[in-house]
Structures are given as C-alpha cells and as structure tokens.
C-alpha cells in the first residue's frame, strides 16, 4: 500500500555521536566567504543518542504491516559523499550542495513528490529535527492518494520534450526547476516557475531570470478546460507569509563575513544599520541575509551564498531593499543590488534603495501593463506611497546593457520628468566602473558622491537642453562643418542673395517656359563641380533621355545633336558622350514611377531616404508639385494638405541634411502683364511661401524692347537664414545651345 506525505515530516536526525564529536573537534570555527563556513556542530541533537547505535524512528504501521515492524532511519550509504537536495523549511525552493557531513534534510512546507538523490532503503527516512514542524500525515486509504492520471502523464511527456524535469513536479503547486532555455545562467539558478493544474490537464511556466524570461503554456489534451480555469495563476490569491528574524533563524554577522564586506569598503556600522545578517544553511555553510523591512517590520529576506547565488523567501511581499530609508524623501537613489545600496551609504547617501530582482536583458517594446499584471516590477507598485513624494529620482543602475534597460523600464513607470541618470567613471584607462560598489572600491567615496551629484536629466524624447548641442554649436562657431554660410551657387551675381544650405527647403516657381527646371539642372551641375554633391531627381515632366541630354549639354558645354538649335557649335564627340554617361551615373539617381499611377509624396520621400543612405545623396529635386498624387480626406482642405505635405518634406530635409528643391507652378494668371509672378501666386496654398526656407521665382524676358531675350531674372523672395542670403534679384544669361546659365559679364562656355 502506498503512502503520501501531505505535510512536512516531524523528523529526527540519525547519526553516530562519535562522528559528531570528531567533526566538532576538527572543524575550524569559521572560514572566509567563498569557502564553507562551519558555524555550529550537531550538538543540538539529543545527547541521549547512543554513540554506537542508530536511533529508530517509529511511525504508525501502514496498511499491510504489523505493529511490531519499525522503520529504521539509516542506511549503509549514509555517510557517503552525496550531492542531494536541501529543501528550505517554509520555502518552495531547493538548492544543491556537495558535503562530506552526515546526511540530513529539512523537508519543505510544500509536498515534494520525489527527491531522487536522497539515499533511502525500504521504509527508511533520514531528516533533521525541528520542534516547530508538525508530524506527518499517513494516508491509510488508497482513495486519498494523488495518482498520476493519463492526462498528467501526457502533460509530463510534453514538458519533458521541452527539456523540463517533471520528476519533481507536483500538481496544484508552483514548482521551481532549471530553465531549459538559459540553464540558470552561470549560477545554475532554478529560475523556472512551473505551475501544473490540480487535475494535471495543463501547465504554465515562466523563467524569472532577467536575461531569459522564457514563458509559455500547454495542455495535455486538446479539449482540456484547465487553461481557462485553474491554470491562470493571477486568479489565485497569494497569502503573504509572516516572517520574523527568529523564525527565519537569522543571526548576527560573524567577523569573517564582516571582513568580506570590509574588503569591499563596507563598514560594520553600515551593515548593522541595514540589518545585514547571516543564516546557517545546509548545516555547515553560512549565507548572507539581506533583510527587507517596511515600516519597521520584516517582510522579506534575500540570501547570497559563497558562489554569488541569490534567492529569496517565498510568498513574501516584493519591495525595495532599504525601503524605510526613503520614506518622505524628495530625493532618492535607486540602484541594482544590495551591495550598491550599502556602497551609497558609505558615500553619505542613506536615501537609497535597491531593486530586489535584478535587470531585464532589453527594454520591452510593449505598452506598459496594468498594475496588477506588471509582475516583474510589482515592487514599484507595492512601494508607490514611498515614491509619490519624490521629485528627483536618480537611477544609478549598472552600466551594462541590462542595467540601462532597467533604468529605462523604471523611468517608464516612475515618469521620465523626475528621473536622473548617472555616468559611471573609468576605473582604468580602458574600462568603466560597472556600479556604485566598483566606484567605491576603485576610486573612493568622494568620487562616488561626485557621480551622484553630477547626475544628468533622464532624456525625454522630444525634450532637449542646449547643453545637448554644445558640440554642434562650437563646430558652427568655428565653421568646421564647411557649410555654415551655405554652398555658393556658382554665379557671382546670385551668391549675394542665395546659397545652398544642407537641410533646407527651396520652393521654385515661375510662369511656364521660364526656365525653372533648366535653372535647377544648371545649379546641380555647379554644386557637383564645386562640392561633389550627388542628387536624387524626381522629375516627372521630363523623359529620361531628354533629361539626360539637358544635363550632358550643361556638363560638357556642347550640343547633344548636330541640329538647328546648335547653330555652328561643335557637337559632343562619342568619347565625350561616354565620359558624360559615367558622370550621369555617378552623380544622379532617378525616382520614377514606371506605371500609369501618380506617385505620392510619401513614396517619393521613402525612395529619397534610400538614396541618401545608400548613395550619399545631398540634394533632392521634386518637379513639379502638380504631378504628385494629392488624394486627401474629404474633410481636409487643400491648404491643410499642403501644410502637412511641406512639413513632411522639411522634416526629411532636416533629418537627412539634404537640400530639397520643390518646383510649384503658379495658378492661372488671367491678368498677367509680363512681370515675374509673386510667391503667393503658387497654385494650392500660401503655405508654399510660408513654410519654405527659401523662395525663388525664375523669370525670363520675352519682350525684345525690354531687354535681351536671353536674360533670366532670379528673384529671391524669401530667405529664412540671413547668414546664407537675403532678398534681392540677380540677372543671368541663358545659353540656348548648351542650356548653361552665366553671369552677364562672363564669356559663353566659361565659368
């Protein structure tokens, strides 16, 4: 007949007294942290035990056995070197250690189905006595046994396929396992929490290790209803344990652990004020106990062993370490570990707390969850009344990627407007300090205080300070950018009024056939020749071959054809054509919509962005506005649409430091008398002149009586940047054979 342990055993240690005496006499009182500290002998076990015999532990006879039979707690393997599980009393976690001491075990308050490494004989048990642990329940009827149902076996098989060890899993409870994804990291921490429903029909798991976070769920059968019912742990009301220093059996620090902290420049006084204690663990090993207090009451405890492995008391409230130190404080500091909190105190900062759970690997891309579902950062919500009065919160998390991710997650919840961040200094010529304790150890308390005093405002997207741009301002002042006054256009008459500044928008207009596109092409050729700029062309009124001809004629300064418009000028040679084609390919990139649909401004800007990033383009030409697709909502006016469109164009220009020339035709001019149009005459909206950086009107004389018909008037009607130009008119001569624009006193074919 099988039995099932439902409550912790009231157990008794089985050992040889002579062995205990020998061990007590040979073990040193204490050792340094990092080794095994021997703090106490096994003398607390009843002295009545015979030095040569094993004490029997009598249990009620299970079904099928006579009362005369007894269970002897012991075996011949008892004193062998074994690796076995040590479940904590009142804890759901179990940790593994190697020992040469007699075998003992303190059973967990939660049922444990199997402990495979515990050496048992038939009807034999081995454990250590605890006066406050109740006796065992022996179930005498098979109906009370927890049997592995068919669906539980199927579920376990699925979990095993995922790499989980289901031998120690108990349905209806939270089981702590080694995560198959991250393997518990370097410390092999059992960070995977697995919950199996009472009926064994479904399971839910999550790894609470910051750098992993693996989670999921599964069901034994496709039609299992467990997932919608008992599987959801958030529906369970967790009862917080009441803990005290006494029932956790915490002790004052021994001199050797105090010495360990002293090596990290943490004083005994700081340890005492923060109630840092120790706890005997696995009989002969000591662990550091960081006690968590709230309103003077112990609510949780976190342990650290000699291998830098951490764990916390189960079913306790998650809060900041050192919470009472920030009560009613307007300035507080948040660090990533208990050691950093203690280091801050050595630098004079008591208004400091540490997060209890470490840092996430990366910043979450999801929206903030509601308070009740924000499990990872539940300690923030549990302490929100302590944080409400804080107007300045310094986030002094670790300097690695995970630490910066933690700072970002904290700022998202606390409010970036009241957060500051620190920059850790270098500890040598190469490496920066990782955290507060490293700064204290390598550079001293004064430097750590200086780091906190010089904390910077936590960046808020879209909110800046001029200090963020001091380097750029210095470069502008010293003219190290090279384009502070803009690039000259290549025409002396025009440079006085207009220069090309990267990141600006120039609107070009003029009546039809006045030479707007020709002038822009000539300007691009000049900029390429003087500064090596490259350009993206979205010229929807030009066929590619015709546009290539115009550009080549301006570059080579010879007509493309031997035709009437060329007069007696020599046509470009084949060799010049080949050289010109290479120049075209190297200098210009075309944005064209090859089908019969009209391109939208977004489509054009997306391709222009690709040209900037891929080819290093510095200028974009959109010619003209009325060839774009201007679909807009019915409720939106054309004025509103033009305003939004030009805003997008300007943001593109500024973000990519790319100058944009946008050609826009004027509306129908029924009363035109021959003079240059006004910028407000542009069809569509006055926003063309209102939102642009530069406004230019190209006008060509058509009346021989008014002057030369090859004279072109460049009217600069708006210049936002007074450093780059001013309002005024410049006059150029247009060479109809080659398409060149020249200063009036400049001979044809030369610049």
What's the 3-state SS for 204-259? EEEECCCCCCCEEEEECCCCCCHHHCCCCHHHCCCCCCCCCCCCCCEECCCHHHHH
- Name the residue among 209, 208, 187, 403 with its Cα closest to residue 304: 187
Residue-level pLDDT at 238: 60
- Name the residue among 332, 309, 343 with its Cα closest to residue 435: 343
Q: Where are the alpha helices (DSSP H) in 359-469?
A: 378-382, 384-387, 401-414, 436-442, 445-453
Neighbours of 16 (CB within 10 A): 18
DSSP bridge pairs for 490: none
pLDDT tops 50 at residue 153:
yes
Beta-carbon-side half-sphere exposure of residue 345 (alpha carbons within 13 Å): 23
DSSP-derived 3-state class of residue 47: coil
Beta-carbon contacts of 55 under 8 Å, excluding residues fewer than 6 positions away, are: 12, 14, 49, 73
DSSP bridge pairs for 70: none
DSSP bridge pairs for 302: 290, 312
**Considering Cα of 458, then 461, then 463, then 469, what sign does the dihedral take?**
positive
Per-residue pLDDT tens over the stretch 200-255: 888 898 888 777 888 888 888 865 554 444 444 444 456 788 999 999 999 999 99
Least confident of 36-50, 213-227, 374-388: 36-50
- Name the residue among 216, 226, 230 with its Cα closest to residue 180: 216
Query: What share of the chain has pLDDT > 90, as a percent?
Result: 49
Residue-level pLDDT at 208: 83
Least confident of 56-70, 380-394, 401-415, 512-526: 56-70
Task: Give the gyration radius of the chain's Cα atoms.
Answer: 40
Least confident of 124-138, 311-325, 546-560: 124-138
Residue-level pLDDT at 200: 82
What CA–CA distance (Å, rounded) separates 83 from 32? 23
pLDDT tops 90 at residue 708:
no
Residue-level pLDDT at 483: 84
Residue-level pLDDT at 188: 81
Residue-level pLDDT at 223: 57
Beta-carbon contacts of 505 under 8 Å, excluding residues fewer than 6 positions away, are: 646, 649, 650, 653, 659, 660, 662, 691, 692, 693, 694
Element (H, E) at 310: strand 310-312
Query: Which of the four pLDDT bands, split at 50, 70 and 90, describes residue 417?
Result: very high
Average pLDDT for 582-593:
95
Average pLDDT for 600-622:
95
Residue-level pLDDT at 440: 96
The answer to whether the beta carbons of residues 383 and 320 sit under 8 Å apart is yes
Query: Which of the four pLDDT bands, split at 50, 70 and 90, describes residue 149?
Result: low
Per-residue pLDDT tens over the stretch 454-463: 999 998 888 8
Least confident of 42-56, 334-348, 648-662: 42-56
Which is more confidently placed, 53 or 315? 315
pLDDT tops 60 at residue 561:
yes
The answer to whether the beta carbons of residues 64 and 45 sit under 8 Å apart is no
Residue-level pLDDT at 666: 87
Residue-level pLDDT at 291: 97
What CA–CA distance (Å, rounded) separates 130 from 674? 108
What CA–CA distance (Å, rounded) separates 183 from 191? 9
Instruction: Tell me the Ramachandran region of residue 410: left when phi exceeds 0, alpha when psi lies from -120 to 50, beta otherwise.
Output: alpha
Which is more confidently placed, 138 or 344? 344
Beta-carbon contacts of 415 under 8 Å, excluding residues fewer than 6 positions away, are: none
What CA–CA distance (Å, rounded) separates 157 from 14? 37
What CA–CA distance (Å, rounded) separates 81 from 103? 9
pLDDT tops 70 at residue 717:
yes
Residue-level pLDDT at 670: 60
Which is more confidently placed, 169 or 304? 304
Residue-level pLDDT at 129: 38
Residue-level pLDDT at 177: 87
Element (H, E) at 729: strand 728-734
pLDDT tops 80 at residue 371:
yes
Max Cα–Cα distance, the chain, nearest Å: 137
Enter the tokens of residue 128: 């250590």
Q: What is the chain's mean pLDDT, rounded?
A: 79
Least confident of 22-31, 168-177, 415-424, 468-477: 22-31
Q: Is the pTM of this model over 0.95?
A: no
The answer to whether the beta carbons of residues 98 and 84 sit under 8 Å apart is no
pLDDT tops 80 at residue 406:
yes
The answer to whether the beta carbons of residues 361 and 393 sit under 8 Å apart is no
Residue-level pLDDT at 115: 36
Per-residue pLDDT tens over the stretch 170-188: 887 788 888 888 888 877 8
Average pLDDT for 524-543:
94
Least confident of 67-81, 192-206, 489-503: 67-81
pLDDT tops 50 at residue 534:
yes
The answer to whether the beta carbons of residues 402 and 355 sit under 8 Å apart is no
Per-residue pLDDT tens over the stretch 88-129: 333 333 333 333 333 233 333 333 333 333 333 333 333 333
Q: Is 391 exposed, middle or buried (0-12, 13-18, 19+ CB in 10 A)?
A: exposed
Beta-carbon contacts of 82 under 8 Å, excluding residues fewer than 6 positions away, are: 99, 103, 117, 119
Residue-level pLDDT at 59: 39
What CA–CA distance (Å, rounded) separates 537 from 508? 15
């Amino acid at each position: 007949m099988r039995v099932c342990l439902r409550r912790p055993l009231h157990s008794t240690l089985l050992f040889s007294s002579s062995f205990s005496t020998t061990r007590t006499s040979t073990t040193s009182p204490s050792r340094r942290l990092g080794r095994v500290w021997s703090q106490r002998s096994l003398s607390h076990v009843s002295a009545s035990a015979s030095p040569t015999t094993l004490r029997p532990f009598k249990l009620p006879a299970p079904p099928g056995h006579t009362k005369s039979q007894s269970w002897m707690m012991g075996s011949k393997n008892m004193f062998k070197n074994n690796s076995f599980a040590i479940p904590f009393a009142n804890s759901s976690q179990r940790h593994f250690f190697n020992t040469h001491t007699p075998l003992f075990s303190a059973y967990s308050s939660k049922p444990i189905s199997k402990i495979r490494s515990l050496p048992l004989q038939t009807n034999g048990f081995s454990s250590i006595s605890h006066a406050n642990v109740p006796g065992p329940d022996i179930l005498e009827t098979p109906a009370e046994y927890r049997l592995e149902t068919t669906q539980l076996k199927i579920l376990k098989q699925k979990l095993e396929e995922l790499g989980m060890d289901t031998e120690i899993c108990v349905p209806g409870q939270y089981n702590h396992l080694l995560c198959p994804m991250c393997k518990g990291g370097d410390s092999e921490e059992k960070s995977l929490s697995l919950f199996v429903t009472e009926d064994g029909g479904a399971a839910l798991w999550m790894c609470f290790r910051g750098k992993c976070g693996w989670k999921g769920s599964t069901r034994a059968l496709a039609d299992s209803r467990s997932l919608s019912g008992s599987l959801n742990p958030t529906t369970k009301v967790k009862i917080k344990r009441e803990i005290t220093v006494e029932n956790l059996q915490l002790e004052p620090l021994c001199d050797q652990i105090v010495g360990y902290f002293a090596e990290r420049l943490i004083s005994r006084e700081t340890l005492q004020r923060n109630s840092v204690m120790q706890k005997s663990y696995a009989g002969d090993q000591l662990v550091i106990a960081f006690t968590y207090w709230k309103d003077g009451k112990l609510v949780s405890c976190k342990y650290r062993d000699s291998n830098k492995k951490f764990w916390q008391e189960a079913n306790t409230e998650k809060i900041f370490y050192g919470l009472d130190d920030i009560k009613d404080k307007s300035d507080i500091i948040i660090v990533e570990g208990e050691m950093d909190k203690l280091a801050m105190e050595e630098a004079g900062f008591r208004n400091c707390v540490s997060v209890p759970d470490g840092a996430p690997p990366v910043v979450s891309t999801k929206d903030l969850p509601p308070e009740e579902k924000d499990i990872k950062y539940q300690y923030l919500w549990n302490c929100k009344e302590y944080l409400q009065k804080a107007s300045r919160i310094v986030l002094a998390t670790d300097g690695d990627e995970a630490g910066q991710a933690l700072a970002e997650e904290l700022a998202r919840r606390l409010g970036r407007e009241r957060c500051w961040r620190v920059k850790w200094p270098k500890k040598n010529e190469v490496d920066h300090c990782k955290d507060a304790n490293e700064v204290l150890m390598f550079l001293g308390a004064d430097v750590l205080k200086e780091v906190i005093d010089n904390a910077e405002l936590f960046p808020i997207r879209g909110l800046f300070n001029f200090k963020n741009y001091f380097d750029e301002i210095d470069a502008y002042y010293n003219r190290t950018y090279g384009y502070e006054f803009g690039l000259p256009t290549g025409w002396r008459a025009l440079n006085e009024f207009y220069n090309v500044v990267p990141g600006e928008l120039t609107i070009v207009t003029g009546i039809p056939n006045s030479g707007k596109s020709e002038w822009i092409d000539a300007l691009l050729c000049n900029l390429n020749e003087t500064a090596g700029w490259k350009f993206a062309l979205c010229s929807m009124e030009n066929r590619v071959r015709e546009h290539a001809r115009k550009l080549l004629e301006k570059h080579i300064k010879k007509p493309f054809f031997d035709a009437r418009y060329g007069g007696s000028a020599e046509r470009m040679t084949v060799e010049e054509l080949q050289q010109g084609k290479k120049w075209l390919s190297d200098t210009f990139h075309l944005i064209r919509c090859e089908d019969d649909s009209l391109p939208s401004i977004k489509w054009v800007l997306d391709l222009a962005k690709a040209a900037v990033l891929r080819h290093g383009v510095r200028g974009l030409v959109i010619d003209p506005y009325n060839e774009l697709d201007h679909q807009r909502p019915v409720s939106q006016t054309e004025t509103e649409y033009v305003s939004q469109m030009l805003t997008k164009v300007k943001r593109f220009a500024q973000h990519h430091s790319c100058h944009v020339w946008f050609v826009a035709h004027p509306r129908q001019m029924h009363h035109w008398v021959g003079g240059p149009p006004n910028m407000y005459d542009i069809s569509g909206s006055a926003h063309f002149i209102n939102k642009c950086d530069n406004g230019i009107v190209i006008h060509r004389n058509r009346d021989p009586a008014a002057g030369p018909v090859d004279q072109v008037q460049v009217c600069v009607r708006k210049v936002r940047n007074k450093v780059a130009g001013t309002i005024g008119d410049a006059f150029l001569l247009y060479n109809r054979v080659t398409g060149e624009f020249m200063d009036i006193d400049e001979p044809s074919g030369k610049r």
